[in-house]
Structure 1
Amino acid sequence: MNKYNIKELTMIGLCAALMAVFSQISIPLPSGVPITLQPFAVILISILLEEKLGSLSILTFILIGTIGLPVFANFQSGFSAILGPTGGFLSGFLIMAFIVGIFSKSKNKKLIFTGAYLGLIADYVVGVLQLALVLNMSISEALVIGCYPYIIKDLILTAVAVIIALKIKLLIKRELTKVIKA
């Protein structure tokens, strides 16, 4: 059994709460798929916490929402949100977190950016597939509703999230170095 220390448990909880906050920065659309900052938050969290803790943080967020706390976009919650048209994007965040987290261990910035974009693609694939299945539409129709309106925003915010996360990581490393030398 894996035991986590207080710092790790605190980071998992804080980042799950951060996901809840970023989920509420949302613009509802008639399609039912809102514009949110959730992918931005997943990337930020996953780079900072890497694959294990980052994935646990996203899983905690999903479980909290599934049991009924209104943490999903537009204060949605419940098992129906996971099984509904946008639930694939929520489930995809877990895959995204794992992929981004693995790549975040690299010292090569290009690899970290690659991992972030691969994670985003994985989320889109899972999200669009579930959207198509739940709404009984073709993949082409699901792409029009669940991908095309968001892709430019997500491509830009993915780069911004990587840059911010790498700067935060560098600041943390510098501060730890100062503490160790003191």
Structure 2
Amino acid sequence: MNQNSKFSVRDICYAGLFAAVIAVMAQISIPMPLGVPMTMQTFAITLAAVVLGSKLSAIATLVYLLLGAVGVPVLANFSGGIDKFVGPTGGFLISFPIMAYIIGLGVEHRDAFKGAFPVAVVVGTVVNYIVGVILFVIVAHSTVSVAVSACVLPFIPTAIIKAVLACVLGLNIRKRIPGVKKA
């Protein structure tokens, strides 16, 4: 992203491109018993954060969420609408821009602070889980232990795999695209 506060046409195109990537990856979805599907959204969010950095990936994620909120069928299972944000998976959706921003900060500061990048990936993912679990508990009138069993534990192995793949792929893409500060 450009160093000044204005976004270039290139920045806007990258944000739009990654909003589309998130929308496509959201359609790769495996239904789970308690209503929280396993999707590739978090892979796409992490990939966007690694490639675009904090601000631009958060914007790409917000664009994706705004499209979904107004009813464009970009969310998992070709769904959309504001009701998705107050349902059992709403917390995960709401936390995506925060997740992207945190992971993006890690990639931006990985040379200055050794270990910042992996820590940021873990923290971003944990924030996603925490917000997701909180809203699940509220909406589903569930206990925290049921929410963790439904929303976190089954996803940990794939979350690790998706995070590693998104980071490796993202760092390679980041090196090759013009206009993005090299990590």
Query: Structure 1 length as normaliser, TM-score?
Result: 0.90
2:33 is the alignment partner of 1:5:
no
2:45 is the alignment partner of 1:42:
yes
Question: What value does the CA root-mean-square deviation take over the aligned residues?
Answer: 1.7
| Percent identical | 36
Which of 142, 150, 153 is 1:145 aligned to?
150
1:158 match: 163
Query: Cα deviations across residues 127-166 of structure 1 (Å, max 9, x unaligned)?
Result: 0110011001111110011111111100121111111111
2:169 is the alignment partner of 1:127:
no
Deviation at 1:106, TM superposition (A): 2.2
The amino acid of 1:156's aligned partner reads I
Counterpart contact for 2:54–2:101, Cα < 8 Å = yes
| Counterpart Cα distance in 2 of 1:164 and 1:13 | 19
| Counterpart Cα distance in 1 of 2:176 and 2:115 | 20
The amino acid of 2:87's aligned partner reads G
Deviation at 1:85, TM superposition (A): 0.5
Deviation at 1:78, TM superposition (A): 0.4
Q: How does 1:8-19 map to 2 (within 5 A)?
A: 8-19=11-22
The amino acid of 1:73's aligned partner reads A
Counterpart contact for 1:18–1:41, Cα < 8 Å = yes
* Unmatched segments (≥5 aa) in structure 2: none
2:34 is the alignment partner of 1:31:
yes
- Kindly indicate which of the two structures has a greater share of residues assigned to helix: 1
1:95 match: 98
Deviation at 1:107, TM superposition (A): 3.6
The amino acid of 2:146's aligned partner reads E
Deviation at 1:170, TM superposition (A): 2.4
2:88 match: 85
Q: Determine which structure has more spread, i.e. the larger CA radius of gyration.
A: 1
Aligned residue pairs, count: 174
Which of 57, 61, 64 is 2:64 aligned to?
61
Counterpart contact for 1:113–1:159, Cα < 8 Å = no
Counterpart contact for 2:99–2:125, Cα < 8 Å = yes
Deviation at 1:20, TM superposition (A): 0.1
1:180 match: none
The amino acid of 1:126's aligned partner reads V
| Counterpart Cα distance in 1 of 2:26 and 2:121 | 19
Counterpart contact for 1:24–1:72, Cα < 8 Å = yes
The amino acid of 2:17's aligned partner reads L
2:173 match: 168
Query: Cα deviations across residues 50-101 of structure 1 (Å, max 9, x unaligned)?
Result: 1111000000000000000011111111000001000100011111011011
Query: Structure 2 length as normaliser, TM-score?
Result: 0.90
* Unmatched segments (≥5 aa) in structure 1: 178-182
